Structure 1
Amino acid sequence: MKRNRQSFKEIMDRLSARHGVHQIFSDFLTLLICAFSHGKMEGLYLETINRYEKPEAYDFSEALAALVIEMTGDGTGMVDVLGIYFEENVSHGRNGQFFTPQQICDLLARMNTPDRYGSRILDPACGSGRMLLAMGKLNRFALFYGADVDANCAKMTAINLCLNGLFGEVAWMNSITNQFYCAWEIKPTVKGIPRIREITSRESYIHLKLPAEMEKVVRVPEQTSIVF
């Protein structure tokens, strides 16, 4: 008898009951990054999945299917299922990890999203990529850049961009000190299928070029005292 389709949360909760939610969620993100590399990260994929029994490995594939279905929402896509699950079940607000509410992201996107093809959009503390997704609703043809000091957040953003057909780069790094750990480029293959490619600091636009460009455009105005 075929069982009813379960939600993303139900599947993840079932896996977490045995292994713990932090390990399951982190490994799930790693497996997706590897899967979308189109075979370029097979070693890490096998190292991660081999920790689990076959029924659990199948549950991971079911979780991906549920994730994709729920991300489409009403058909427009861009639903931050990963970020919602992370906030409610993994971080619980530790380290101040509360993401900007979706309605605020949508409002800011309407105020700031450029409409030109190839415009660069950056979120230097991207969390799960919710702000980039909001801007992607308005301009799918921009290039999206995100950075976060939390590895899971950077992975969530890369996966969110990839599954929604948005291209750019996501770096796991400290945006303040420019300390770099890892980055992923999201771009289409020759067949148009999105692919995630791990890149080094020497290839990372965010790490190499962003600090210099930000220095050009970001200026803190001189403070003046107001005397009453």
Structure 2
Amino acid sequence: MPKSTDVPSCLRDFNAVFEKLSYRHGWGDVYVDFIDYSVACFLNTGDVKVSDYLKKKYGKDYEYFKQLFAEWIKAQHKQLNQGKQWYDTLGIFYEVIASSSKASHLGQFFTPPDVVDMLTMITSGKAKEGGRQRIADPCSGSGRMLVSFHAHFPGNYCFAADVDNICTKMTALNMMLHGCEGQAVCMNSLDPDDWRFGYAVNPWIREFGGLPHLARIEKEQCFQWQGFQADKANFEKKTAEAKIKAAVEKVTVKAEPMVGKFGQLSFL
């Protein structure tokens, strides 16, 4: 179990429930399954496959997921009520269990919150509240950068991408709880065609009266993928045009005027 000294005091109640599950099922597995459980809770369509799988896997222990979910929301709510502009409960606890050799397969650590806020202010440029600007993070981790940006400049549209599926889901959940609007997708930002899955974050939040929610999207609905494909098509077009131009120049014989030895004008 994570040592109590390694867990922030505000997450002790969350950790107490987590221990009841991880005692028999393993730290890493329980955390991954909790993230899947939470995503299923907020999906506009739900996810029967996930709930059925977890009920079968955990049996009576499945009920602990409801308690864990409640403690997560409580911890998040408490921190925001105490004056924090944003708080990454999921990312912080992820780092606690990832530091253990028993959950080393999670294996990531995220940018510290104070550094995140500093980077937000450095990179914000002409950002403004309600500007409806598009903000992208191609390697989102737990979503801290975009959540911080939204906290300082709400009302913009956020795009998140990460090659790790758990990070993508954490990002979607963090963005959703903080009221962000945007998309969180699992893809390789260096390879536009390597698209795996994605969510629209709070797409109908205005119609739903502020109720947080997620909706699955396909790659054709992903604005990042669309932009990458447009750039790719434009690059391929320019490359093809350049090749054609080079080929034409190679086979074209240029006539150059020359003055012959007898002084007459020649094109030899």
What range describes the TM-score normalised by the shorter chain of this pair? 0.7 to 0.9
RMSD after superposition: 2.5
1: CA distance, partners of 2:35 / 2:107: 21
**Partner SS, residue 208 of structure 1:** helix
Pairwise CA distance, 1:28: 0.7
Which residue of 2 is the match for residue 207 of structure 1?
225
**Partner SS, residue 128 of structure 1:** coil
Post-superposition CA distance 1:32-89 (Å, at most 9, x none): 11110133423333223332223x2222111112111222312445211111111120
Aligned-partner residue type, residue 164 of structure 2 = D
Runs of 5+ in structure 2 lacking a partner? 1-10, 235-268
> Higher helix fraction: Structure 1 or Structure 2?
2
Which residue of 2 is the match for residue 52 of structure 1?
58
1: CA distance, partners of 2:134 / 2:232: 12
Percent of residue pairs bearing the same amino acid type: 27
Instruction: Give runs of aligned pairs for residues 72-83 of structure 1, distance below 5 A.
Output: 72=77, 73=79, 74-76=82-84, 78-83=86-91
CA contact (8 A) 1:128 1:154 kept: yes
Q: Among 134, 142, 149, which residue is 2:163 paired with?
A: 149
Which residue of 2 is the match for residue 223 of structure 1?
none
Specify whether residues 174 and 14 from structure 1 end up closer, same or farther in structure 2 by C-alpha distance, changes over 3 A only: same
Q: Among 124, 145, 152, which residue is 2:138 paired with?
A: 124
Q: Among 120, 132, 143, which residue is 1:109 paired with?
A: 120
**Partner SS, residue 52 of structure 1:** helix
Higher relative contact order (CA 8 A, sep 6+): 1
Pairwise CA distance, 1:142: 1.0
2: CA distance, partners of 1:21 / 1:202: 36
- TM-score, normalised to structure 1, is 0.83
Pairwise CA distance, 1:14: 2.2
Aligned-partner residue type, residue 29 of structure 1 = I
CA contact (8 A) 1:71 1:77 kept: no
Specify whether residues 69 and 95 from structure 1 end up closer, same or farther in structure 2 by C-alpha distance, changes over 3 A only: closer
Specify whether residues 40 and 211 from structure 1 end up closer, same or farther in structure 2 by C-alpha distance, changes over 3 A only: same
- TM-score, normalised to structure 2, is 0.71
Please tell me whether residue 136 in structure 1 is matched to residue 154 in structure 2.
no
Higher Rg: 2
Which residue of 1 is the match for residue 180 of structure 2?
166
2: CA distance, partners of 1:21 / 1:182: 25
**Partner SS, residue 122 of structure 2:** helix
Which residue of 2 is the match for residue 25 of structure 1?
31
Aligned residues between the structures: 211
Please tell me whether residue 9 in structure 1 is matched to residue 26 in structure 2.
no
**Partner SS, residue 185 of structure 1:** strand
2: CA distance, partners of 1:203 / 1:118: 19
Post-superposition CA distance 1:122-145 (Å, at most 9, x none): 111000011111112112211111
Aligned-partner residue type, residue 98 of structure 2 = V
2: CA distance, partners of 1:213 / 1:22: 38
Specify whether residues 15 and 175 from structure 1 end up closer, same or farther in structure 2 by C-alpha distance, changes over 3 A only: same
CA contact (8 A) 1:77 1:164 kept: no
Which residue of 2 is the match for residue 196 of structure 1?
214
**Partner SS, residue 176 of structure 1:** coil
1: CA distance, partners of 2:55 / 2:141: 25
Aligned-partner residue type, residue 204 of structure 1 = C
